[in-house]
Amino acid sequence: MILLLALIIGVLYAAGTYLVLRRSMVKVIFGLIFLGHAANLTIFTVARPTKGVPAFVPENALAIAEPFADPLPQALILTAIVIGFGVQAFTIVLFKRTYQTLGTEDLDEMRSTDTLE
Amino acid sequence: MLSLLVTGFLASALAPVLYRRFRENFGWIAVIFPLFMFFGFLSRYPEVAAGEVIRESVPWVPSLGVNFSFLLDGLSLTFALIITLVGAAVFLYAGAYMKHYANTGRFFLSIGVFMTSMLGLVLSDNMLLMFVFWELTGISSFLLIGFDHRKESARRAALQALLVTGGGGLALLAGTILLHRVTGSVEISSFYGMSGIITSHALYPAIAILLLFAAFTKSAQFPFHFWLPNAMEAPAPVSAYLHSATMVKAGIYLIARMNHEIGGTPLWQDTVLIAGTATMLFAALLAFGQTDLKKLLAYSTLSVLGTLVMLLGIGSELAVKAFFIYLIAHSLYKGTLFLVAGTLDHETGARDVMKLGGLRRAMPVTAVTAALASFSMMGIIPLVGFIGKETVYKAILELEYWGVFLIAAAVAANAFIVMITLFVGFKPFWGETLLTPRPPGEAPLKMLIGPALLAVLGLLFGLFPGVFIAVMLQQSALSILSETLSLKISIWQGFNLVLLLSFVTLLLGGVLFLVRSRMPERLLALRAPALLKPSAWYEGSLRLLSSLARLQTRLLQNGYLRNYIIVIVVTAISLASFALYRSAGRFVLEPAVAVTFYEVALAFIIVVSTVLLITSKSRLKSIVALGVLGFSIGIIFVIYGAPDVALTTFAIETLNVILFVLVLYRLPRFLKLSRSSNRVRDSLIAGGVGVFMTLIVLYATSFELSPELKRFFAAASLPEGKGRNIVNVILVDFRALDTLGEMTVLAIAAVGIFAMLKLRTRGRA
């Protein structure tokens, strides 16, 4: 099971790296999203995920009994997802503005804001 | 001594302010400062003369062994007295000489800092402290050489001096660190008696070479001599002070100070002897083609520095005695002559000796001063220079094997020095009167006192060596050789070989003068090929450095995002892979939970949507694939007991897809931008990253996981956080500050997005 997750993580990282190296700015943004997913899954997997049983303290009990999912990586990932979304939204809008101004999404042509008008 | 140095720095800082108020008579105010220091040190003279070594230590960074510890013995007291005495002459002189320059206040600030640092350098007992002062003298020298910063040549010379001596400073630091590894201390006084341990250590050659490199660059020994003649761009008082009497002797001081702990080995003595002799001879030869007053003096200074180093290389009792007398004599007469050169420049507007002559009537006092110093420089009885030269010759003649060659070299070098002296000290004042750019007149009193004082001291030291030099000589020799001497010092030693050699030197010098005066200028236009000139090596290495920097910038900072990423990723992966490879045995694969059909299907969907996203030309299709991917990952979270994470993922992915569609749906299809070779390269890198990350995850999961945190949060959630959803409790309670940070990031992103959507570039709709 961990092997399967590890393979998925590998695929996501590979795809993210490949996309980040592209010249199209949209693909670079896709790449960032992929890398975000991959990083979240890595944190999750490294903490040994357990199937079923979420980390809830049952009603009329004082503490939860094993086995249950580790809550700490989940909390970390939640924070990461939300921040990741902030970054993605920002880059998407940044792309929109760049495209409006320069009329291109090719990063190689974006070396200066003055070259194109 | 620490308080004296602190006072020195404070007084220097006040100089610009005071200069603004007392512009006219600033020389008289400035001279108080070195004189005060001079008498401060002079008051210690009886103690040191009685053989006492005065120590003082204030902890600075005791854990690193860095302390403000000072050592006042014969050697450092001699240097301190020279520094402050010549300083007094120079400060008074500069008060008048620098009046017509802009920023004279700043000049006094720099030269005050220099004097204080130079004192610190010779007083330091701690080598790291010495390094600090060493670099401070280098920096103040940089500021003073480049004082006329509108001149390109001055800036270049300043930078050259800084780079050469600064490089030496780094060598001093490295040598100090190595010494610390050998002895466990950086206090010079703690090395006493450790000579055997240090010289037999495996690191000894490195220590010796580093320290000698530092000394040779600072004291402008061959092949690092080229910066000193160029440093003549500085105003005359600076040349007199830094570049003849004091700073260039710092390297020599270092060799002398280190001599009896680190010296004594063939490596040390031979290197010092060869470098010194080479400098002595070559510098004297190079002076032959010069006609500029200050350049001539600079080359003679180089030659004398070489002689001093050579004497330390000989290292006998007599050589140390000669070293000491010659050091004092040189400081006195060379300081004087540099100031005289400055006066000539100041009063006549010319510095070329061929254009100066017959000035004795216009400038009688200067002429007498120059003559007095020149007699000392040529080694004519009864001035101190005579004793100096006699003792040098005697020390060389004592040598058995190399004595003949060395004495020939020394006589030749001194003959050239005699020639230089005749050009600088006599030619401008005697002979036929030549027309100068400005009508000559005697310099103001302030510019006469300093040089005259130093010149007269040269006479007094020569007439009464027993009074002025003998005691300090004894104590200094103790510092250098760590043994007492049985030496007497007197001016007249009878008719002997040495006296004969002195006559030969004077005669040769006179002949050289006559030859040079009648020589057509075009014969001198011949120059050595660039390959043989160390200054050309310097220029070459600077050019190499900047082209290397350009190359590196083009390679690493080329403005292409993907190249930065490739460099970072490939470096990180290769280094980490190496570490991973070394612990390859750790991988254990245990399928803790059996894999179900759903999971495999999910993995399949993720792979398919990934491939689709990468290959698709349609933007809408890519966005759909992105959504499918995000939701699949959300489902993974559902399977492994993370409903909160899953919910958030679903929400965010939905928002993401909407945002992408809004922004992208009107754009044209993707173009194939990259070349296929680039695609292949990128796929290889990406594949490497993927494999590496998979291995990292497997490696990390092969360790035992500590359940402590998990248990803590599970147990504390309800009683302390008052919540049953442990993940939520962590987010809003235990790690609430993280969440606050997260919200701040979102707010900033929102502000940014708002700005980008609302703001319009000027001139556009």
Indicate whether B86 belongs to any domain. no
Residues B694 and B716 grouped into a single domain? no
> Which domains are present in chain A?
2-52+67-103 (1.10.287)
Provide the pLDDT for residue A117. Answer: 43
Provide the pLDDT for residue B99. Answer: 83
Provide the pLDDT for residue B446. Answer: 84
| Whether B661 contacts chain A with CB within 8 A | no
Residue that finishes a domain, picked among B503, B526, B549:
B526
Provide the pLDDT for residue B245. Answer: 83
Indicate whether B189 belongs to any domain. no
Closest by CA position to B339, among listed B232, B227, B437, B238: B238
Provide the pLDDT for residue B461. Answer: 86
**Inter-residue contact B212 to B272 (CB < 8 Å):** yes
Q: Do A51 and B593 touch (CB under 8 A)?
A: yes
- Residue predicted with more confidence, B25 or B646: B646
Residues B694 and B718 grouped into a single domain? no
What is the mean predicted confidence (pLDDT) over B51-72? 86
Percent of chain B whose pLDDT exceeds 90:
27
Of A37-46, B682-691, B712-721, where does mean pLDDT reach its minimum?
B712-721
Structural domain boundaries, residue B610 = 560-706
For residue range B449-478, list pLDDT tens digits in order.
888 998 898 888 888 877 777 777 777 777
Interface probe for B, chosen from A3, A51, A70, A99 (most Cβ of B below 10 Å), is A70
Mean pLDDT score of chain B: 86
| 0.85 surpassed by complex ipTM | yes
Q: Do B626 and A1 touch (CB under 8 A)?
A: no
Q: How confident is the model at residue A116 (pLDDT cuts 50, 70, 90)?
A: very low
Provide the pLDDT for residue B745. Answer: 92
Residues B699 and B719 grouped into a single domain? no
Alpha helices (runs of H) in chain A, residue ranges in sequence order: 2-20, 25-46, 71-102
| Whether B663 contacts chain A with CB within 8 A | yes
Distance (Å) of CA B567 to CA A14, B168, B558: 16, 35, 12
Indicate whether B381 belongs to any domain. yes
Indicate whether B252 belongs to any domain. no
| Whether B621 contacts chain A with CB within 8 A | no
- HSE, side-chain direction, 13 A CA sphere, residue B469: 28
Residues B462 and B596 grouped into a single domain? no
For residue range B536-572, list pLDDT tens digits in order.
888 888 899 889 988 888 877 777 788 888 989 999 9
For residue range B638-670, list pLDDT tens digits in order.
988 888 899 999 999 999 999 888 888 777 777
Q: Do B730 and A45 touch (CB under 8 A)?
A: no
Q: Do A8 and B698 touch (CB under 8 A)?
A: no
Residues B419 and B365 grouped into a single domain? yes
Nearest CA in chain A to B665: A96
Q: State the Cα–Cα distance between residues B489 and B492, nearest whole angstrom.
A: 9
Indicate whether B721 belongs to any domain. yes
Indicate whether B434 belongs to any domain. yes
Which among A13, A33, A106 has the least Cβ separation from residue B690? A13
Split into its structural domains, chain B has a count of: 3
Q: Is the pLDDT of residue A44 over 60?
A: yes
For residue range B349-394, list pLDDT tens digits in order.
888 888 888 888 888 888 889 999 998 888 887 888 888 888 888 8
Residues B316 and B442 grouped into a single domain? yes
The whole-angstrom distance between A90's CA and the closest CA on chain B is 6
CB-based contacts of B376, cutoff 8 Å, min separation 6: B329, B332, B333, B383, B384, B385, B386, B455, B458, B459, B462
Q: Do B560 and A77 touch (CB under 8 A)?
A: no
Indicate whether B256 belongs to any domain. no
Indicate whether B118 belongs to any domain. no
**Inter-residue contact B114 to B247 (CB < 8 Å):** yes
Residues B511 and B608 grouped into a single domain? no
Q: State the Cα–Cα distance between residues A86 and B646, nearest whole angstrom.
A: 18
Q: Do B603 and A19 touch (CB under 8 A)?
A: no
Q: Is the pLDDT of residue B726 over 50?
A: yes
